[in-house]
Structure 1
Amino acid sequence: MTIEVTHEQLVVERSIPDARRRRWERKYRIVLLAADGLAAVAAALTIHAVYGRWTVALVLPPMWIVTMVAHRCYDRGALGRGSEEYVRVLRGAVALPALAACVHWLFTHDWGLLHDMITAAVPAAAFALPVRYALRRRLYRRWARGRDRSTTLLVGPSHSAAELLAALRRAGGVHELQVAGVCLSDPENAAGIRELGLPVVGGVGDIDDVVRALGVSTVVVLPAPEFDASVLRRMSWTAAVQDVDFLLAPVLADVSAPRLTVRPVNGVPLLRIQAPNLSPMSRLPKELLDRSLAAALLLFLALPMLLIALIVRLDSSGPALFRQQRVGRYGDHFTMLKFRTMRPDSEDLRAELEHLNQNSDGLLFKVREDPRVTRVGSFLRRSSLDELPQLINVVKGHMSLVGPRPPLPDEVEEYTPEVKRRLLVKPGLTGLWQVSGRSDLPWDEAVRLDLGYVDNWSMSLDLVILMRTGSAVVRGTGAY
């Protein structure tokens, strides 16, 4: 298996127009530069309105752009990457006062300008971040419509290609890669790839010709035993000659980027995967935020919750609250609260409805048009208002605002040792399972999401899930 890269090929390829380079990147950078400039101008005008000095309007915009460039806010690795992009902007905002101090001591010696520049860092970031969020959402919408995506070639064994394709399809098209074909290292399994709707365009030795023929801009190499260092090196040379991105898919999936670091050892780059950080000290800020925010929401929603409880009582006989034993962190049992959405004899009727179970592939019991659900209960489920009493569980410390779905004791008894990792954190009022489809998810996918949350937990991930929860509730996907 050889991939030849000759001098003549290098000359020919470099003479080809840069047709594959992603045009959206250039446009995105230009728009970001303009947006950052306008954010700096808006911040400067804010400072002028407060302190009445115009000099900051001349100095802040170029210094803000320089700070963003220094913190690589326009690099390809940050464009459209969400939290990574925001973190770089915030780092630039933190560094701006230091840059302003250097300019003050070396050139201006104007204490008023130094004060204004330091003060302007906060409004500049406050204006820049929402604009970047809006631009990122617009880019995601274009990706979902199949625009501005990178024509991608997968290289490797069929089972790895199928796994990556499944992961990309789970994202619903909201990603950059547009897979155009697969070069298989095991062509005898080509039929399985074609069944997934992907063309098999050759073998590993055909990468060079396929990249040229399809206008590929990204090559993704999948894990394969036969891909040793020399083979991967030659593939990367071919990608470099053709001026395309060369990506290596890790063997271990569902690992967040912040947990991955490269540690060079005697010239060999080794990939380090940081262990999940679930220590009590690291989760103390989450505990404080959960309980304080849940208490504030209970105070704010007290009257609406009383009204819902009254409506539930008037709609059907039985208590307003439904109490059920659930399993929390480390397997501890607790009583979970919800507004009652079913008839009082719902548990007795479950056996009669077993044949209607929508989640027959796993341990969950869900029926799309459950006859046990009351009229008011149907609305409460679609709107997720039935889960508001779980704020009491959060205040008591049984649950978290964000976490895996709280399981039933009989479900936990059927868990494999791998699935029991879900119990390392508190169950949540919302979570990846809720913002990704809830009851419409197959059991394996729900488990994958929960285990991914446990392994990759961070405060920023919690905040992202909380922000996505609102739109998930409005859509009502999987809420029945």
Structure 2
Amino acid sequence: MPMTTIHERRRPTRKRHLPSVRFAGGEAQGSRRGGTALPGLLAADATAAAAASLITVLLYGRWIVPLAVPAVWIMCLGVQQAYERGCRRTGAEERGRVLRAAGLAVGGAVAIWWFTSFDEVLREGLCAVVVAAALTIAFRRARRRRHRYVQRILVVGPARSSAELISKIRRANGCGLLLVGACLTDPAHAGEVTARGVPVLGGAGDTGHAVHQSGPDAVVVLPCPELDAGRLRELSWQLQGEGVELMLAPVLGDVAAARIGVQMAAGMPLLRLRAPDLSSLTRIPKTVADRLLAVLALLILSPLMLFIALVVRLDSPGPILFRQRRLGYGGRAFTVLKFRSMHQGAEKRKAELAHLNQNHEGLLFKIADDPRVTRSGSFLRRYSLDELPQLFHVAAGKMSLVGPRPLSAQASAYTEEMKRRLLVKPGLTGLWQISGRSDLSWQESLHLDLSYVENWSLGLDLKILLRTASVVVRGTGAY
């Protein structure tokens, strides 16, 4: 069925009876958009402002400024689009809007003080704004946890790109997006999408019908030559009449928001992509923190490491440590140390077990039930305890706590894409470890490592470290 035009009659309601796909770990089956969401949000913000007013009164014993706080605070949040549809879905965006609203309110208080010289206005205003902002962020965070906002999206674009987007959303558990279907520019390859549990609702020309059929909150269009400016403009007009948002995915994915800027030229918005800052100067804090934390971890974990060494020695004949040459920062080779988790001669048996390798296309050699693994080695691998000796490399500055995994020292096997991984130090943990580990394909692992290199920040390192603990305890994808 072809895409409807803006001149066609709209259906009064959108059908929402079709079941939507729920990914593993998803927290809701439908959209939270509309209904009581906005009134509830306003009530929470008003409560935060009222509490801030009461606290200000108790501290200073005056009602003049506190009486104006709730109305002014709600107005500032409104100016910063804190009630715009979609702003509730991400905590970072929500906090940014609240903080900008606080800045606007503080600016107003400073302006009043400047022209009136009423010190109490500035003092009480600052107190009320700080408390209101803190409580608003806390209340909104509590609301997000209690009412998980899920945005239903319909994907439009090529099958391969759609499948990649689905995989990313599945890995980013709790990202707030729920796939209800896809419309493909190449329906002949629909199997790539349906294999991931997402129904294909037709071709790109069937988008209008699919919107009525699946009731999405937003349509995400992936880059493709079939959907040119004219088609996108027509689609945006149509979706406006349906109350559905239109989102355009960039050609280059996995780019941190901090690296993207918008520049207007000839009336057109151009996305400016800033190069990643990988200079040694910006990484000094990371290097210092890596070495200090590694030394501290070695001191704390030394009894456990001694016990593991004893178990490895008693479990099977052979050395306690496994040594292998791998490439590090700048392509320099170094010897990686791990607790031995395989029987002696395991490397020589690769040829006879090559048919069981689950990563034929890359440098990894992974077998789910590897017969070469010892009894103790199976436990060590499951909980990543075999990696603990690499803390010595971190303390020595050859590795980092967070980074791409160190791979084979065969530099000739590295493609230009793989060489990008060598722009940073290899890590004890990284994006691939918290995203599935050995359950990921080689291409997925490489993609995650490159994403880390391109978007590195101290905040990203901290996020990975915090998530590593839970992943290690669960033992997901470890073998």
TM-score bucket of the superposed structures, by smaller chain: 0.7 to 0.9
1:180-219 mapped onto 2 (5 Å cutoff): 180-182=181-183, 184-186=184-186, 199-219=199-219
Paired residue secondary structure (1:301)? helix
Evaluate the alpha carbon distance shift between residue 391 and residue 68 of structure 1 in structure 2; reply closer, same or farther with a 3 A threshold: farther
Paired residue secondary structure (2:219)? strand
Paired residue secondary structure (2:358)? coil
Q: Give the total of aligned pairs.
A: 464
Evaluate the alpha carbon distance shift between residue 347 and residue 2 of structure 1 in structure 2; reply closer, same or farther with a 3 A threshold: closer
Q: Give yes or no for contact 2:404–2:427 (8 Å, CA) kept in 1.
A: yes
CA RMSD across the alignment:
4.2
Partner of 1:155: 156
Letter in 2 for 1:219: V
How far apart, in 1, do the equivalents of 2:52 and 2:391 lie? Answer: 38
Q: Give yes or no for contact 1:291–1:397 (8 Å, CA) kept in 2.
A: yes
Paired residue secondary structure (1:177)? strand
Evaluate the alpha carbon distance shift between residue 197 and residue 408 of structure 1 in structure 2; reply closer, same or farther with a 3 A threshold: closer
How far apart, in 2, do the equivalents of 1:288 and 1:61 lie? Answer: 45
Partner of 1:453: 452
Q: Does 1:333 find its partner at 2:323?
A: no
Cα shift readout 1:116-135 (whole Å, capped 9, x = no counterpart): 9559949964x766766665
1:86-125 mapped onto 2 (5 Å cutoff): 86-88=95-97, 101=110, 109=118, 114=123, 117=126, 121=130, 125=134
How far apart, in 2, do the equivalents of 1:102 and 1:441 lie? Answer: 56
Q: CA deviation at 1:181?
A: 4.1
Range that drifts further, 400-409 or 353-362: 353-362
Partner of 2:224: 224
Partner of 1:262: 262
Evaluate the alpha carbon distance shift between residue 155 and residue 115 of structure 1 in structure 2; reply closer, same or farther with a 3 A threshold: closer
TM score, norm. by length of structure 2: 0.79
Evaluate the alpha carbon distance shift between residue 226 and residue 178 of structure 1 in structure 2; reply closer, same or farther with a 3 A threshold: closer
Q: Give yes or no for contact 1:60–1:117 (8 Å, CA) kept in 2.
A: no
Partner of 1:441: 440
How far apart, in 1, do the equivalents of 2:314 and 2:46 lie? Answer: 58
Partner of 2:180: 179
Q: Give yes or no for contact 2:60–2:124 (8 Å, CA) kept in 1.
A: no
Range that drifts further, 386-395 or 438-447: 386-395
1:395-474 mapped onto 2 (5 Å cutoff): 395-410=395-410, 412-474=411-473
Letter in 2 for 1:81: T
Evaluate the alpha carbon distance shift between residue 344 and residue 19 of structure 1 in structure 2; reply closer, same or farther with a 3 A threshold: closer
Letter in 2 for 1:153: L
Range that drifts further, 239-248 or 102-111: 102-111
Range that drifts further, 95-104 or 462-471: 95-104
Range that drifts further, 197-206 or 319-328: 197-206
How far apart, in 2, do the equivalents of 1:331 and 1:314 lie? Answer: 36
How far apart, in 2, do the equivalents of 1:392 and 1:207 lie? Answer: 56
Letter in 1 for 2:265: V
How far apart, in 2, do the equivalents of 1:106 and 1:299 lie? Answer: 60
Q: Give yes or no for contact 1:97–1:121 (8 Å, CA) kept in 2.
A: no
Cα shift readout 1:369-416 (whole Å, capped 9, x = no counterpart): 334433333322222222223222222211111111111213x43121
Q: CA deviation at 1:65?
A: 6.0
Cα shift readout 1:252-300 (whole Å, capped 9, x = no counterpart): 2333333333221010122222222212233233223322333333333
Cα shift readout 1:33-80 (whole Å, capped 9, x = no counterpart): 6666777788899999xx976769958984776665555555444423
Partner of 2:378: 378
Range that drifts further, 188-197 or 418-427: 188-197
How far apart, in 1, do the equivalents of 2:336 and 2:247 lie? Answer: 45
Evaluate the alpha carbon distance shift between residue 69 and residue 437 of structure 1 in structure 2; reply closer, same or farther with a 3 A threshold: same
Range that drifts further, 277-286 or 192-201: 192-201
Q: CA deviation at 1:16?
A: 5.2
Q: Where in structure 2 are there 5+ consecutive unaligned residues?
A: 18-29
Range that drifts further, 74-83 or 356-365: 74-83
Partner of 1:81: 90
Cα shift readout 1:327-377 (whole Å, capped 9, x = no counterpart): 111101223233333345443444444344333342211233334433333
Partner of 1:164: 165
Letter in 1 for 2:332: D
Letter in 2 for 1:23: R
TM score, norm. by length of structure 1: 0.78
Evaluate the alpha carbon distance shift between residue 475 and residue 53 of structure 1 in structure 2; reply closer, same or farther with a 3 A threshold: farther
Q: CA deviation at 1:251?
A: 2.3
1:252-331 mapped onto 2 (5 Å cutoff): 252-331=252-331
Structure with higher helix content: 1
Paired residue secondary structure (1:23)? coil
Letter in 2 for 1:4: T
Q: Give yes or no for contact 1:96–1:118 (8 Å, CA) kept in 2.
A: no
Partner of 2:245: 245
Q: Where in structure 1 are there 5+ consecutive unaligned residues?
A: none
Evaluate the alpha carbon distance shift between residue 133 and residue 364 of structure 1 in structure 2; reply closer, same or farther with a 3 A threshold: farther
Q: Give yes or no for contact 1:359–1:366 (8 Å, CA) kept in 2.
A: yes
Identity of aligned residues (%): 49
Paired residue secondary structure (1:342)? coil
Letter in 2 for 1:336: V
How far apart, in 2, do the equivalents of 1:39 and 1:293 lie? Answer: 39
Letter in 2 for 1:249: A
Letter in 2 for 1:444: Q
Q: CA deviation at 1:246?
A: 1.0
Q: Give yes or no for contact 1:431–1:465 (8 Å, CA) kept in 2.
A: yes
Paired residue secondary structure (1:263)? strand
